[in-house]
Amino acid sequence: MASLVGTALESYDFYIYAYFAAFFAGPLFFDPLGPVGATLAAFLTIAVSFVVRPIGSIIFGHLGDRIGRRKTLLITILIMGIATGLIGLLPTYAMAGWTGAVILVLLRLAQGVSLGGEWGGSILLASEHSSRKSRAFWAALPQLGSPIGSILSAAFFLVLTSALPAEEIVAWAWRIPFLTAIPLVAISLYLRWSIDETPVFANLVKNDKRERMPVLRVFREQPAALALAIGTALLGIGSYSLMNTYTINYGVAVLGFTYEDLLIATTIGGLLQLVTIPLFGWWATRIGSARVVAYGALGTLLIAFPMYFVLQQATFGILVGTMIIGGILPTMSWAALGGTMADLFGDRHRYSALSIAYSIAAVVSGFVPALTLAFGQATGQAWWHPGVVLAVMSAITLVSAWAVRRSSVTARDAATDDSEVAEPALQNS
């Protein structure tokens, strides 16, 4: 639960701000730039939090491998929750000129830095408290945070848009979703404060085996494993950016769906993930995490073009079916991602490695909507243009997971001392 609440808050923050930036951030904070300039500035505030994530992954990855998983996660969740809540208190341009916009960018930077260390620590907090046999299942549970955040954010905007006129939302109600981050962060802080440090890190401290510069060790000793971890993570993260951000805008602007239809469809897909993620996590304990990731990537590759071809029919039933099918298969790769990446790296630098790999994949994924939009315009909105993007991400993840699966042994099985392990087939000395 301590891990799950943090990843849920991360996802909630991402989707809340994505919806907010698409419709309200421009007029409220960047109005003098004009309609196009204000919208562009609003979208750039989404990008900045992705760009700085690698910085956060280096900072908090180092802390996680030096002072512990639990202490580091207390810091990251506190920064993230405070920054999200403060966005709900910002003065708009009409109130204070450019002051609100400047503070908004600074808060987005703070969120990005804190998120750089959140996911890897959440995975380790869950997996390093579990037995080796069940580790893949427990590593999957923090991944529930993504659909939970998606469901909560979509539900908030459905309620706001149906209960209040646009004028009221612009005047004051847009603040409510951001302010709800405060009780969420309080719950997460309580849960994380109440638990012990993971046995893995406690063993490192007891045996005086903590790495002085864990980030450098990752790049020096396991660059190939790091590259494969980035590739393995790409589909799980990027598919959310494509399906829940770009496809919503594409569905309204090109296919003629209503905004409410798309929010309902994504919410249905998110509810289904609450069931499928634990099931895929259990499956990973039976056949291996990397194999589940590979199966999910292969399935997504096979349905990428048929899914977007059928979506051109523009009926609500097809939309829901697309969100379900196009959600389940990438969810396989998403659910088993934590277990796959954790098995690639040794205990002494695992927090740094997971954080860096995830943050780099997140940076790439953060530009997926913009790149897909540009590709769509270049192809005259050809029906297959989103399928190309989804297929490329699927192929990269499939090859990466296959390479991990083909390695002779995992990092944990390769040595008798967990704190000294490194994947032989992926290690570069």
Residue 56 to residue 84: CA distance in whole angstroms: 16
CA 423 to chain centre: 25
Q: In the predicted model, what is the mean pLDDT of residues 123-138?
A: 87
Closest to 343 measured CA to CA, from 330, 333, 353: 353
> Residue 12: what pLDDT?
83
Residue 423: band (very low, low, confident or very high) from pLDDT cuts 50, 70, 90: very low
> Residue 289: what pLDDT?
93
Task: Report helix angle 350-366 to 223-241, nearest 10.
Answer: 40
Closest to 341 measured CA to CA, from 169, 177, 124: 124
Beta carbons within 8 Å of 266's beta carbon, 6+ residues apart: 150, 154, 243, 244, 248, 323
The pLDDT of residue 417 is above 90: no
Residue written as tokens 């304990």?
285
> Residue 22: what pLDDT?
66
Closest to 59 measured CA to CA, from 361, 355, 341: 355
> Residue 7: what pLDDT?
82
> Residue 340: what pLDDT?
92
Residues 242, 386 contacting (CB under 8 angstroms): yes
The secondary structure of residue 24, as a DSSP letter, is: I
Residue 24 to residue 160: CA distance in whole angstroms: 13
% the chain with pLDDT above 90: 34
> Residue 187: what pLDDT?
85
For the entire predicted model, the pTM comes to 0.85
Q: What is the pLDDT of residues 136-174, one digit of tens each?
A: 999 999 999 888 888 888 788 788 878 888 788 888 888
- Helix H or strand E encompassing 304: helix 289-311
The ranges assigned to domains in the chain are: 2-420
Rg (CA), the chain: 21
Mean pLDDT of the chain: 85
Residue 361: band (very low, low, confident or very high) from pLDDT cuts 50, 70, 90: very high
Q: What is the pLDDT of residues 276-307, one digit of tens each?
A: 999 999 999 999 999 999 999 999 999 999 99
Beta carbons within 8 Å of 110's beta carbon, 6+ residues apart: 79, 83
Residue 138 to residue 178: CA distance in whole angstroms: 29
> Residue 410: what pLDDT?
45
Task: Report helix angle 53-66 to 214-221, nearest 10.
Answer: 110
The pLDDT of residue 419 is above 50: no
The pLDDT of residue 41 is above 70: yes
The larger pLDDT score, comparing residue 94 to residue 395, is at 395
Domain 2-420 has CATH 1.10.3720.10: no
